[in-house]
């Protein structure tokens, strides 16, 4: 059983207490982890401070950002196991980084993008591209935290004394959270990531006061130039937006102008058609009046007096009905014309109104046809009665009244002439009030005249 060392021996006590420290300093892997941790601290701190003072989106040519990727590459390579392949032995960073896709499905997009890049041929180039894409996505710390928590998976790629396996890896991942305040815009496709040499530039972290002053002055000049560039770009963007707005207005004006020209041409064509139809309808009205007069004369010569009176009464009723309908149609026509002048753009409503008007005219034509049939039946009855009167002894009485009938016929002819003149006047007024789109109304007047 060992006895404790007495406190009266300080030298021996110091040797025993610092023995573990000396053993740690003698361990090269521990020294490498410490050095990499310190370099990661300096790189991340310098990158954040320079990015915040720079105040702009970082690109691939920014030196502190380049050194950060070099330091991260050394940290991830530390303690990486050597694997055999067909071409020999190699150490690939792409293996452990590719495992992040299984741990976090959101990282699958980055892995797929890296695999689809045409310029990358080596696993090291893919790993470098993955680091840049993860930094732009601001998820680098999250992805590496998921990776270091799975020691069982890291044991396949790293030694037990590697940075990613020990506590230094957790510290580095914690420092990476501060990079989320940086905005990076990196062009991965255009860079040659396979053949880059990853050498840490210690001069960036060992600058003197003169270098700091020069770098500050240079950063001020760069910031002023970038401010001028942003102002010019913003001014150019505003000018482009105003140009696009004016171009849109010009296009709208051209479209409206062409539309107005088309509407004017259509209106002119409609006026010409209306004039032609008006002339044609006038000719048809004259022909209808002539035929009506001829048929009226024939009817007066062939029908007896009683039949003529009944026909005359029926015609008067039809004339009054036609006159009433004419007034209604004229009023309707006037309303339609007023509506057409005020609301030219409402074509569909006008078509619907015209269809209703045509339906009404067809119904009226059917009514007139029924009246004609009734008139024919009355004529047939009168003819039958006339034949029966010839068989009886009424012939002699009729001969005696022939002279009286002749005188009455003359009076009726005079009244018929007056009726014809009134019908002609009424028809002309109807023609003036009628529209070219109501062609069925003229057919109605034609049927009434017959």
Q: Where are the domains of the chain?
A: 10-206, 280-449
- The DSSP string of 243-281 is HHHHHHHHHHHHHHHHHHHHHHHHHHHHHHHHHHHHHHH
Q: Which residues pair with 184 in a beta bridge?
A: 58
Q: Which of 333, 328, 336, 337 is CA-nearest to residue 364?
A: 328
CA angle (197, 201, 207) in 5-degree steps: 165
pLDDT score recorded for residue 3: 36
In three-state secondary structure terms, 128 is helix
The secondary element (H helix, E strand) that includes residue 310 is helix 305-342
The secondary element (H helix, E strand) that includes residue 90 is strand 88-90
Q: 209-302 and 28-54 are packed helices; what angle lies between their axes, rounded to 10 degrees?
A: 60
d(CA 421, CA 292): 12
pLDDT score recorded for residue 393: 64
CB 70 within 8 A of CB 193: no
Q: Which residues pair with 89 in a beta bridge?
A: 84
CB 152 within 8 A of CB 90: no
pLDDT score recorded for residue 242: 85
**Does the model's pTM come out above 0.85?**
no
pLDDT score recorded for residue 83: 67
pLDDT tier for residue 226 given thresholds of 50, 70 and 90: low
- Contacts with 130 (C-beta within 8 Å, 6 or more apart), sequence order: 94, 97, 110, 111, 114
For the record, the structure tokens of 244 come out as 């696009």
For the record, the structure tokens of 49 come out as 């401070």
Distances (CA, A) of 202 to 59, 67, 72, 347: 21, 9, 15, 82
pLDDT tier for residue 368 given thresholds of 50, 70 and 90: confident
Domain 10-206 is in which class? mainly alpha
Question: Residue range 354-360: average pLDDT?
Answer: 80
d(CA 404, CA 409): 9
List pLDDT tens digits, range 4-44. Answer: 333 333 333 333 344 444 444 557 888 888 888 888 898 88
Per mean pLDDT, which range of 62-66, 280-284, 347-351, 358-362 is the poorest?
Answer: 347-351
d(CA 299, CA 77): 122
CB 43 within 8 A of CB 73: no
- Output the CA torsion 428→434→436→442 (10° steps): -70
Q: Which residues pair with 90 in a beta bridge?
A: 83
pLDDT score recorded for residue 305: 59
d(CA 182, CA 258): 54
Q: 402-433 and 439-449 are packed helices; what angle lies between their axes, rounded to 10 degrees?
A: 170
Supply the mean pLDDT for the chain.
76
pLDDT score recorded for residue 216: 61
Q: Is the pLDDT of residue 283 over 70?
A: yes
pLDDT score recorded for residue 19: 46
Question: Residue range 350-374: average pLDDT?
Answer: 79
- Token pair 């913003």 is found at 234
CB 136 within 8 A of CB 186: yes
- Output the CA torsion 319→322→328→329 (10° steps): -140
């Amino acid at each position: 059983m060992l006895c404790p060392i007495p406190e009266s021996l300080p030298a021996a006590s110091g040797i025993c207490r610092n023995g573990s420290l000396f053993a740690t300093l003698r361990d090269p892997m521990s020294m490498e982890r410490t050095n990499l941790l310190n370099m990661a601290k300096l790189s991340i701190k310098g990158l954040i401070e320079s990015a915040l003072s720079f105040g702009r989106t970082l690109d691939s040519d920014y030196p502190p950002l380049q050194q950060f990727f070099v330091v991260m590459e050394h940290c991830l390579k530390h303690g990486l196991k050597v694997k055999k392949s067909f071409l020999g032995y190699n150490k690939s960073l792409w293996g452990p980084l590719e495992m992040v896709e299984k741990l976090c499905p959101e990282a699958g997009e980055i892995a797929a993008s890296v695999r689809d890049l045409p310029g990358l041929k080596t696993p090291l180039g893919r790993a470098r591209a993955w680091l840049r894409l993860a930094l732009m996505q601001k998820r680098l710390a999250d992805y590496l935290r998921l990776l270091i928590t799975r020691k069982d998976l890291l044991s396949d790629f790293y030694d037990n004394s590697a940075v990613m396996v020990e506590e230094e890896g957790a510290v580095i991942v914690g420092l990476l959270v501060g990079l989320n305040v940086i905005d990076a815009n990196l062009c991965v496709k255009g860079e040659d990531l396979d053949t880059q040499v990853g050498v840490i530039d210690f001069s960036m972290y060992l600058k003197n006061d003169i270098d700091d002053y020069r770098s500050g002055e240079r950063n001020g000049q760069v910031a002023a130039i970038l401010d001028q560039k942003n102002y010019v770009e913003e001014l150019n963007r505003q000018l482009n937006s105003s140009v696009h707005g004016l171009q849109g207005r010009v296009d709208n004006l051209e479209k409206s102008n062409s539309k107005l020209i088309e509407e004017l041409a259509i209106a002119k064509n409609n006026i010409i058609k209306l004039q032609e139809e008006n002339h044609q309808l006038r000719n048809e009205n004259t022909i209808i009046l002539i035929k009506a007069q001829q048929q009226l004369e024939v009817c007066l010569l062939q029908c007896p007096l009683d039949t003529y009176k009944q026909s005359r009464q029926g015609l008067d009723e039809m004339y009054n009905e036609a006159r009433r309908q004419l007034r209604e149609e004229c009023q309707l026509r006037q309303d339609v014309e007023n509506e057409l002048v005020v609301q030219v753009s409402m074509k569909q409503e006008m078509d619907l109104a015209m269809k209703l008007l045509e339906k009404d005219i067809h119904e009226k034509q059917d009514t007139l046809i029924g009246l004609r049939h009734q008139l024919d039946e009355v004529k047939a009855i009168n003819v039958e009665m006339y034949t029966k009167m010839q068989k009886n002894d009424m012939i002699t009485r009729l001969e005696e009244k022939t002279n009286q009938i002749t005188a009455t016929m003359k009076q009726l002819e005079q009244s018929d002439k007056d009726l014809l003149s009134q019908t002609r006047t009424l028809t002309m007024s109807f023609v003036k009030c009628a529209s070219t789109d109501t062609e069925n109304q003229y057919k109605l007047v034609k049927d009434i005249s017959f």
